[in-house]
């Protein structure tokens, strides 16, 4: 069997032969009149009117039969068959011998239906648009090497229609979100990716340096504090679909670079945010999938109806069978030790309790559920609960043990906010590195007055995973971060 270098040499020779014939195997342009789907949808009229169509795509299949060749090309809309014969091309038919699977060609011709009922273009003119020097990995079976799919996404997109469909759905999901919010008078904005001070989440940032200003900057871990500055400024309803960056590990739901939408609405609270995210996802499923009952990770999930709401502490009591509010710190640590819950580096009572929640509660929540009223210690940007000052008005949306959204009644008391930031700095002194730093400019903005506000962050990548039944985030990010070879 010929190796890849031999195949490449053979194709280079064909490329040189095309040049010798006075043909440019890499021309500048080709005018397209129709896509494959245009031809299928309008074939009766195209055939009746004997319309000449112009179409281009990559050769995926080629079958030669003497002086006739059948080729299937793929464009962005799908596959279509070409009928190439010496009777129509004349002397130029010899150029067909210089074609290989993977080449990109443009053709002009008329549409007809074969005796087998296949819509086909009878080619009157053919042009090589890009000579492929490397063979495609397979014909129709796609790429079996998962690592290759992620490292060479372009090959994955060529070979696997399922992959292409996933990213088309991703586009539709993001477009739906934009349309949904725009129709409700939200304003899309852009905030800095490079920030002098990071905040808005518990995460380690990526550090960089700006040479001209000689200052360190961080890639944002969240756009929350900037968006809330805009609420102070009177924009009242804002959102941003943002690329965020967190210097963290990689697993099936985490990539260091990911997409989040954050939404803020003045004069609203976390109950309004629950209604917003529930309606948004339900309407999205109806519009994009045509249904609200979906299959995901071997489970059937019903997105319709009112989603369950469960108190954070009650959820721990239900699934871990303990009342953490009645346990002192030593008892909590002993419980973690007995159940092999890793709390190394977790400073503060709230972080320990949250590890218990992560390990013993999350996996038990299957259907869409709002876990509400988290501890104050782990929610420095959320407003104190109106009925219990040890809790905050916050929720996390969990489905199948995975967090899809995080929301608050936003803290708008600048004095309380400063105290919360200072508490975070105390935790840092004790060794906790994932804390909210003091942002003096944000505090100053708050002192001018921020209205009551509801805010929510939704993980776009995870949402796409849910609606496309993908079990790893790498399948919904075109170029996920991978370890260097």
Burial of 293 (0-12, 13-18, 19+ CB in 10 A): exposed
> pLDDT tens across 22-71, in order?
999 999 999 999 999 999 999 999 999 999 999 999 999 999 988 999 99
Question: Hey, what are 400's tokens?
Answer: 């199948």
- For the chain, which residues make up each domain, given as ranges? 4-136, 158-307+367-475
Model pTM score: 0.93
Question: pLDDT value at position 142?
Answer: 54
> pLDDT tens across 355-385, in order?
999 999 999 999 999 999 999 999 999 999 9
Confidence of residue 141 (pLDDT cuts 50, 70, 90): low
Mean pLDDT, the chain, whole residue set: 95
> pLDDT tens across 299-346, in order?
999 999 999 999 999 999 999 999 999 999 999 999 999 999 998 878
Enumerate residues 6+ apart whose C-beta is below 8 A from 470: 166, 464, 476
Cα separation, 340 vs 359, in Å, equals 9
4-136: which CATH architecture? Beta Barrel (2.40)
Q: Could you tell me what percent of the chain has a pLDDT over 90?
A: 89
- Does position 140 have pLDDT exceeding 50, yes or no? no
Find out whether 397 and 389 touch, Cβ atoms under 8 Å: no
Find out whether 287 and 176 touch, Cβ atoms under 8 Å: yes
Does domain 158-307+367-475 fall under CATH 3.20.20.70? My reply is no
Cα separation, 236 vs 414, in Å, equals 18
């Amino acid at each position: 069997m010929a190796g890849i270098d031999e195949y490449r040499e053979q194709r280079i020779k064909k490329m040189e032969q095309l040049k010798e014939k006075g043909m440019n195997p890499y021309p500048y342009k080709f005018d397209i009149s129709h896509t494959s789907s245009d031809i299928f949808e309008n074939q009766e009229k195209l055939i009746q009117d004997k319309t000449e169509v112009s179409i281009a795509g990559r050769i995926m299949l080629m079958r030669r039969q003497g002086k006739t060749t059948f080729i299937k090309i793929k464009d962005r809309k799908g596959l279509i068959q070409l009928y190439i014969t010496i009777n129509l091309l004349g002397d130029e038919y010899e150029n067909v011998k210089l074609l290989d699977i993977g080449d990109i060609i443009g053709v002009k011709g008329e549409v007809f239906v074969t005796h087998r009922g296949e819509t086909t273009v009878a080619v009157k003119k053919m042009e090589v648009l890009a000579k492929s020097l490397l063979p495609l990995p397979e014909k129709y079976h796609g790429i079996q090497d998962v690592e290759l799919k992620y490292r060479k996404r372009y090959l994955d997109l060529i070979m696997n229609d399922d992959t292409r469909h996933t990213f088309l759905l991703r586009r539709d999901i993001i477009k739906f979100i934009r349309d949904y919010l725009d129709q409700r008078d939200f304003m899309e904005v852009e905030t800095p990716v490079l920030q002098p001070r990071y905040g808005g989440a518990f995460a380690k940032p990526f550090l960089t340096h700006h040479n001209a200003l000689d200052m360190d900057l961080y890639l944002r871990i969240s756009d929350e504090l900037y968006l809330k500055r805009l609420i102070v400024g009177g924009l009242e309803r804002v959102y941003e679909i943002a690329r965020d960056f967190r210097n963290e590990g990689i697993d099936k739901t985490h990539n260091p670079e990911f997409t989040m939408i954050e939404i803020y609405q003045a004069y609203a609270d976390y109950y309004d945010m629950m209604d917003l995210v529930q309606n948004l996802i339900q309407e999205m499923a109806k519009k994009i999938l045509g249904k609200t009952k979906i299959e995901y990770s071997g489970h059937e999930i019903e997105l319709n109806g009112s989603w369950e709401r469960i108190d954070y502490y009650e959820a721990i009591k239900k699934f871990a069978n303990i009342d953490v509010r009645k346990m002192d710190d030593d008892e909590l640590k002993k419980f973690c030790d007995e159940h092999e819950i890793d709390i190394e580096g977790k400073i503060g009572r709230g972080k320990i309790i949250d590890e218990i929640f992560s390990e013993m509660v999350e996996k038990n929540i299957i259907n869409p559920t709002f876990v509400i009223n988290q501890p104050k210690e782990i929610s420095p940007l959320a407003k104190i609960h109106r009925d219990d000052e040890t809790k905050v008005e916050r929720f996390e949306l969990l489905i199948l043990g995975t967090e899809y959204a995080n929301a608050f009644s936003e803290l708008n008391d600048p004095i309380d906010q400063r105290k919360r930031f200072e508490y975070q700095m105390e935790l840092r002194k004790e060794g906790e590195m994932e804390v909210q730093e003091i942002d003096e400019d944000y505090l100053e903005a708050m002192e001018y007055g921020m209205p009551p506000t509801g805010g929510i962050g939704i993980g776009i990548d995870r949402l796409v995973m849910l609606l496309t039944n993908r079990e790893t985030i790498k399948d919904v990010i075109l170029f996920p971060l991978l370890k260097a070879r």
